[in-house]
């Protein structure tokens, strides 16, 4: 799809063009409000006509999203947003499809569809709201809830290993993985715009706060007091620096990443890893995606963005080729093909 018409279309559309007439019913203080607002701001910039935008979701708090966006929208059934989005995109690749989902929707009940969407690399933009809890069913643990975390269905603490979304996505051949936090609308918007321009499945994990059932689950890397030392914004081509004084950095020692301080033990800026989101080999990207406090800062920004063929692109190409060279041009041809006889 052509995604470079931004400049021509930008003046004609505004955020208001994408606000539906429905009352937003998320809890006050929910992180979803900020995500919705950032998304509505981005849509006028993505370079497609407003009727070519389709927003698809599964089930969960996040999945009410399509009702609030004035576009073509489909609120599906639990876990199946990826399959729904796939059918839409394959059917009409001219559409820009956004899939809104959550940690329960895509990593538990919809895990199968989620990994296969990534593997097929359909040109779909996915926003996975990760609040590490089931909100709509009122507080059971999810596949991303940290081990030992006490919830309504894990009163003694969970006894499961959580998924890391980036590691799972890259393992499933995902070509684009980014992470954002719901407290930084500007960064969210930038990442959404970049995701919309990536050809292939673009996955954005948005660390989103559930104010009712899992409040402050992301506080360590989102709160004003601690975030500078526990969050690193990765930018392509730039050294991986973070911290209040921007003097901490990431280096590769052996096969592990390590956090170092500039000036200590002779560390200079030249020792710090430079982010390459286009690197085909996924090793460093996985290491970056799996960094967690307290040992590491959590990585935000576009971690991986590689170029590979898409399912929908190949499908269109095959159909075009077959239509040109195939002998069967219409159903009458088909019915009369092969062995027939006359009576």
Partner 1 sequence: MTSKAQKVVELEHVVVRFAGDSGDGMQLTGSLFSDAAAIAGNDFATFPDYPAEIRAPQGTVAGVSGFQIHFGHKEIHTSGDMADVLVAMNPAPLKKNLMWVKPGGTIIVDNDTFIDKQLEKAGYSNNPLEDESLRDYNVIQAPVSTLTKTSVEDLGLDNKMVLKSRNMFALGIMFFIFNRKLSSADEFFEQKFRANPLVVESNKRILRAGYNYAESIEALSSITYKVEPAKLQKGIYRNITGNIATAWGFLAAAEKSGRQLFLGSYPITPASEILQELSKHKSLGVKVLQAEDEIAGIVSTIGASFAGSFAITTTSGPGLSLKSEAIGLAVMTELPIVIVDVQRAGPSTGMPTKSEQSDLMQALYGRNGEAPCIVIAASSSANCFYYAFEASKLAMEHMTPVILLTDGYLANGSEVFKIPKMSDLVEIKPPLAEANDPEYFPYKRDPERLNRKWAVPGTEGLRHRIGGLEKEDIYGHVSHDPENHQIMSEYRYEKVQRVAKYVEPQKVYGPEEGELLVVSWGGTYGVMMEAVQELHKQGKSVSLAHFHYINPLPRNTEEIFSKFKRIIVPELNMGQFVLHLRMHFQKFNFEQYNKVQGLPFMVKELVDKFNQMLEGK
Under the rule (CB under 8 A), what is the footprint of partner 1? 20, 22, 49-52, 54, 56, 59, 66-67, 70-77, 80, 82-92, 94-95, 112-113, 116, 315, 318-319, 322-323, 325-332, 334-336, 338-343
Q: Six-digit token pair at 26?
A: 């998320």
Nearer to partner 1, 56 or 303 (CB): 56
Q: How far is the CB of 70 from partner 1 (least distance, A)?
A: 6
Nearer to partner 1, 18 or 141 (CB): 18
Instruction: Phi first, then psi: give them for residue 89, nearest 5 degrees.
Output: -65, -40
Q: How far is the CB of 294 from partner 1 (least distance, A)?
A: 38
Q: Which residues are CB-contacts of 34 (< 8 A; sequence separation ≥ 6)?
A: 182, 183, 185, 188
What is the H or E stretch that residue 290 is in?
A: none
Nearer to partner 1, 283 or 326 (CB): 326
Nearer to partner 1, 4 or 343 (CB): 343
Nearer to partner 1, 74 or 171 (CB): 74
Chain centroid to CA 303: 11
Number of neighbours of residue 290 by Cβ within 10 angstroms = 16
Q: How far is the CB of 320 from partner 1 (least distance, A)?
A: 9
Q: How far is the CB of 47 from partner 1 (least distance, A)?
A: 15
Sheet holding 256-261, edge to edge: 241-242, 248-253, 256-261
**How many Å apart are CA 182 and CA 111, to the nearest integer?**
23
Q: Six-digit token pair at 34?
A: 């900020």
**How many Å apart are CA 20 and CA 324, to the nearest integer?**
43
Nearer to partner 1, 21 or 281 (CB): 21
Q: How far is the CB of 193 from partner 1 (least distance, A)?
A: 21
Q: Are 172 and 118 in contact (CB under 8 A)?
A: yes
Q: How far is the CB of 177 from partner 1 (least distance, A)?
A: 20
Bridging pattern class, strands 72-75 and 53-57: parallel
Nearer to partner 1, 15 or 75 (CB): 75
Comparing C-alpha atoms, which of 215, 188, 45 is closest to residue 127? 188
**How many Å apart are CA 293 and CA 220, to the nearest integer?**
8
Q: Are 61 and 32 in contact (CB under 8 A)?
A: yes
Q: How far is the CB of 147 from partner 1 (least distance, A)?
A: 28
Q: How far is the CB of 330 from partner 1 (least distance, A)?
A: 7
Q: How far is the CB of 264 from partner 1 (least distance, A)?
A: 49
Nearer to partner 1, 126 or 217 (CB): 126
Inter-CA distances, 156 with 138, 143, 218, 278, Å: 17, 16, 21, 43
| Distance spanning both ends of the chain, measured CA to CA | 51
Angle, helices 185-197 vs 32-42, to 10°: value is 50
Nearer to partner 1, 124 or 192 (CB): 124
Helix runs in 235-329, H state only: 283-289, 311-325
């Amino acid at each position: 799809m052509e995604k470079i018409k931004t400049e021509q279309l930008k003046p004609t559309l505004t955020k208001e063009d994408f606000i539906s007439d429905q009352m937003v019913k998320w809890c006050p203080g929910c992180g979803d409000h900020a995500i919705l607002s950032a998304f509505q701001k981005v849509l006028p910039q993505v370079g497609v006509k407003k009727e070519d935008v389709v927003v698809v979701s599964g089930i969960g708090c996040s999945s009410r999203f399509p009702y609030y966006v004035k576009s073509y929208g489909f609120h599906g059934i639990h876990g199946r947003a990826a399959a729904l989005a796939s059918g839409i995109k394959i059917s009409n690749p001219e559409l820009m499809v956004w899939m809104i989902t959550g940690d329960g929707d895509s990593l538990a009940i919809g895990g199968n569809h989620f990994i296969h969407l990534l593997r097929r690399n359909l040109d779909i933009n996915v926003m996975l709201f990760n609040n590490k809890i089931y909100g709509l069913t009122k507080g059971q643990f999810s596949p991303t809830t940290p081990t030992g975390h006490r919830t309504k269905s894990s009163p003694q603490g969970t006894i499961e290993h959580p998924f890391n979304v980036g590691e799972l996505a890259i393992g499933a051949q995902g070509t684009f993985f980014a992470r954002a936090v719901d407290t930084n609308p500007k960064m969210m918007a930038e990442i959404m715009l970049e995701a919309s321009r990536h050809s292939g499945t673009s996955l954005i994990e948005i660390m989103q706060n559930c104010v009712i059932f899992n409040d402050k689950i992301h506080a360590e890397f989102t709160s004003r007091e601690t975030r500078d030392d526990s969050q690193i914004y990765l930018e392509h081509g730039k050294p991986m620096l973070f911290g209040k004084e921007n003097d901490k950095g990431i280096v590769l020692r052996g096969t592990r990443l390590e956090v170092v301080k500039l000036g200590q033990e002779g560390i200079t800026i030249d020792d710090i890893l430079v982010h390459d989101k286009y690197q085909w080999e996924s090793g460093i990207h996985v290491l970056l995606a799996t960094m967690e406090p307290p040992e590491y800062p959590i990585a935000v920004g576009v971690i991986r963005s590689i170029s590979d063929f898409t399912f929908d692109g190949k499908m269109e190409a095959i159909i075009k080729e077959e239509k040109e060279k195939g002998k069967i041009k219409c159903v009458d041809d088909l019915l009369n093909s092969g062995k027939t006889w006359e009576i």
